[in-house]
Homo-oligomer: A and B are copies of this chain.
Amino acid sequence: MTLDNISYSQALELCLKNAKPINTTENIFINKALNRILAKDIIAKRDAPAFTNSAMDGFAFKHSDIKKLKVIKTIYAGDKYKDFEIKENDCVRIMTGAKVPSTLDTVIPIEKCEEVNEDYIVIPEIKKGANVRLKGEEIRKGDILIKKGEVVTPNIIAMLASQGIVNIQVYRNLKIAILSTGNELKEPWEEAGDDEIYNTNSYAIAALLKNFGFSADIIGVIPDSLEKTTEYIKELKNSYDVIITSGGISFGDADFLYEAYIKNGLKPLFHGIMVKPGRPTMAGIMDNTFVFAMPGNPLSAYINAFCLIIPTLRKLNGAAKYYFQTINAINKSEFKLNPKKDHTILGYYENGVWEVYNNYKYGSSMLSALVNSNSLTIINKGKKEVEKGEKLKIYLF
């Protein structure tokens, strides 16, 4: 039995194609809505502006009037008033955001007046309608403001607050379990001897997910026996939408996690990707639970979690856009590749230029590469080298 040889992009597409969005929703208050995914279009509750108002501190007047105007009143932002009499050649002092009387149509800012006195002002030519924001000119009540499937950003929260929309319907949070395998692992707060290593992947992947708005439970290290692991996975699949493990799915003798998954009904989408690093990676569906089995090596596990898991979680959680935004960069220094594989390569992006970490000479367990990189690029197989000056697509962490 050997690992599959599918390409990295095939692996991602298989994950996305088989990620069926959850449809359970909940209502939340806007204070808690950041990074949640809208389960329903947001419809405008009111016109914007809600009333015709002044865009400047100045004087509101009727454009057809003459150049010398009598100041009869001051209107402040927030002032509520019924229509009052405004005669020919009358004007009102008005503050930014204050409601413009319905018979007036233009506002001149104080600093543009030719003369300003207690009682009258003299004004130059100005365009009719200047500095007046008309009711509904931006948004009409009933308009679709934001589409279902959008991630709630601070920009969207601004819009929601301005509309007085405080309860929104979002998809519930995904329930995600993170586990590691292997007797060799110590938890980071335990004492580890020189021949022991720490459970890195659980904490790294949980932090990565958190950074993208997902919350995961760190379940710990699963036991090193097929029977116990099978039982463990069985319990977990009833409680979680997503199970993420790392290690245990190569075909080494102690790698029985794969078998435990299969015994629990897992249908693998792929088991092995022809990529460096991170070949022993599997994804699949086990009843209603999506399974990601990452490599044991922390660097590979982290990169694959970023590239494969994050977009898939977005889709599972109902997001309409789930691919990463890439940016273009120029490659700073040449590096060599094995043309038989796809590659995910760490590096540093700055001012349009990207530089590979350590000339692409780092191992798949070297976390220094991760700490000293702010981005990665994906190179498809068939290339022996990436030349200086080549254009690359970069994924920023």
The chain A residues found within 8 Å of chain B, CB to CB, are 2, 30-31, 34-35, 46, 48-51, 55, 57, 74, 76-80, 95-99, 111, 133, 138-139, 145-146, 153-166, 182-186, 188-190, 192-204, 206-208, 210-211, 224, 250-255, 296-298, 302, 325-328, 349-352, 363-368, 370-371, 373-374, 396-397
In the complex, residue of chain B having the shortest beta-carbon distance to the beta carbon of A212:
B154
The reply to whether B210 and A34 contact each other, CB–CB distance below 8 Å, is: yes
Asked if B48 and A161 sit within 8 Å, CB to CB, the answer is no
Q: Across the interface, do A80 and B193 meet the contact criterion of CB distance under 8 Å?
A: yes
Do A155 and B370 have beta carbons less than 8 Å apart? yes
Residues of B within 8 A of A185 (CB): 78
Q: Check if B254 sits within 8 Å of A153, measured CB to CB.
A: no
Find A254's partner among B95, B211, B351 (CB 8 Å cutoff): B95
- Given A95-B253, A96-B250, A252-B96, residue A34 in contact with residue B211 (CB < 8 A): yes
Chain B's closest residue to A328 (CB) is B352
Interface of A is mostly: loop
Residues from chain B with Cβ under 8 Å of A200 in the complex: 158, 161-162
A371:B145 contact, CB within 8 angstroms = yes
- List 4 tightest A-B contacts by C-beta distance, closest first: A78-B184, A158-B204, A154-B207, A328-B352
A-B contact list, 9 entries, CB within 8 Å: A49-B365, A50-B192, A76-B253, A77-B296, A99-B195, A138-B368, A158-B302, A158-B370, A166-B189
Is A252 within 8 A of B50, CB to CB? no
A145 to B366, CA, bound (A): 12
With A164-B189, A204-B157, A373-B155 known as contacts, the answer to whether A138 contacts B296 (CB < 8 A) is: no
Interfacial chain B residues near A2, Cβ < 8 Å = 111
- A38: min CB distance to chain B, Å: 12
CB of B326 within 8 A of CB of A133, answer no
Pick the residue among B97, B160, B296, B367 that contacts A158 (CB under 8 A). Answer: B367
Which of chain B's residues have a CB closer than 8 A to the CB of A224?
78
Other-chain contact of A204, B74, B154, B165, B326 (Cβ < 8 Å): B154
**Contact, CB under 8 Å: A165 / B184:** no
Which has the most chain B C-beta neighbours within 10 Å: A49, A96, A158, A373?
A: A158
Q: How far is the CB of A242 from chain B (nearest CB, A)?
A: 17
In the complex, are the beta carbons of B189 and A325 less than 8 A apart?
Answer: no
Are A57 and B154 in contact (CB-based, < 8 A)?
A: no
The answer to whether A188 touches B161 (Cβ under 8 A) is yes
Q: CB-nearest residue of chain B relative to A78?
A: B184
**A190 B207 Cβ-Cβ under 8 A:** no
Report B-chain residues with C-beta under 8 Å of the C-beta of A201. Answer: 158
A332 to chain B, nearest CB (A): 14
Partner of A198, one of B164, B302, B326, B349: B164
> B188 to A95, Cβ gap below 8 A?
no
Q: Is the CB of B371 within 8 A of A196?
A: no
Residues of B contacting A254 in the complex (Cβ-Cβ under 8 angstroms): 76-78, 95
Interface contact A182-B77, CB-CB below 8 Å = yes
| Distance between A95 CB and nearest chain B CB, rounded to angstroms | 4
Q: Which residues on the B side are within 8 Å of A98 (C-beta)?
A: 184
Q: Find A367's partner among B80, B159, B202, B207 (CB 8 Å cutoff).
A: B159
Nearest B residue to A371 by beta-carbon distance? B159
A57 CB to nearest chain B CB (Å): 4
Kindly identify which residue among B97, B328, B368 contacts A197, using a CB–CB cutoff of 8 Å: B97
**Could you tell me the distance between the alpha carbons of A254 and B97 in the complex, rounded to whole angstroms?**
12
Contact present for B363 and A55 (CB under 8 Å): yes
Closest to A349 in B: B325
Shortest A307–chain B CB gap in Å is 13
Q: What is the CA–CA distance of A97 and B365 in the complex, to the nearest angstrom?
A: 10
State whether A328 touches B328 (Cβ < 8 A).
yes
